[in-house]
């Protein structure tokens, strides 16, 4: 996602930017859900752990870059979860640090 936002295909710049601006909030909500081990989407149904520990770590590590790319295209996160610095712990011995 960040690659396509940072360098959209020629003549499709407006389409790509508009697409990601309109969906930035939902994308970040879904990323947060994945990091929390929940199913992404509309929040209905079973919220049991849906993904591996490694996937959760990978998504968490991508959030800062994704957030920066959204900021570059002017996307806003009115009521999305707080993107301020936080520590997400999957286990006491393995913290993951996120910074916006």
Domain of 62, in residue numbers: 11-98
Q: Which two tokens stand for residue 44?
A: 């209905």
- The whole-number pLDDT of residue 42 equals 53
All residues at 6 or more sequence positions from 96 whose CB lies less than 8 Å from its CB, including other chains: 35, 57, 60, 61, 87, 88, 89, 90
Does any domain span residue 1?
no
Does any domain span residue 23?
yes
Q: pLDDT for 10-54, tens place per residue?
A: 999 999 999 999 899 889 988 888 888 877 665 554 555 667 888
Q: How many residues are present in the chain? A: 100
Structural domains of the chain, count? 1
Does any domain span residue 40?
yes
Does any domain span residue 42?
yes
Does any domain span residue 77?
yes
What does the alpha-carbon distance between residue 98 and residue 89 come to, in Å, rounded to a whole number? Answer: 11
Give residue for tokens 């979860």. 81
Does any domain span residue 4?
no
pLDDT above 60 (res 91): no
Per the model's pLDDT, the better-predicted residue between 43 and 64 turns out to be 64
The residue-averaged pLDDT of 77-92 equals 44
Strands (E), the chain: 86-89, 95-98
Per the model's pLDDT, the better-predicted residue between 82 and 4 turns out to be 4
Compute the mean pLDDT over every residue in the chain, rounded to the nearest whole number: 74
- The whole-number pLDDT of residue 11 equals 92
Does any domain span residue 6?
no
Neighbours of 71 (CB within 10 A): 14
pLDDT above 60 (res 81): no
């Amino acid at each position: 996602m960040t690659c396509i936002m940072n360098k959209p295909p020629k003549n499709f710049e407006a389409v790509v930017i508009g697409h990601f601006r309109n969906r930035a909030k939902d994308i970040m909500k879904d990323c947060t859900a994945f990091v929390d081990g929940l199913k992404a989407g509309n929040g209905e149904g079973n919220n049991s752990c849906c993904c591996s520990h490694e996937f959760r770590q990978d998504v968490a590590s991508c959030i800062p870059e994704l957030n920066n790319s959204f900021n570059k295209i002017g996307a806003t996160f009115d009521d999305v979860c707080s993107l301020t610095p936080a520590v997400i712990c999957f286990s006491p011995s393995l913290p993951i640090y996120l910074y916006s």
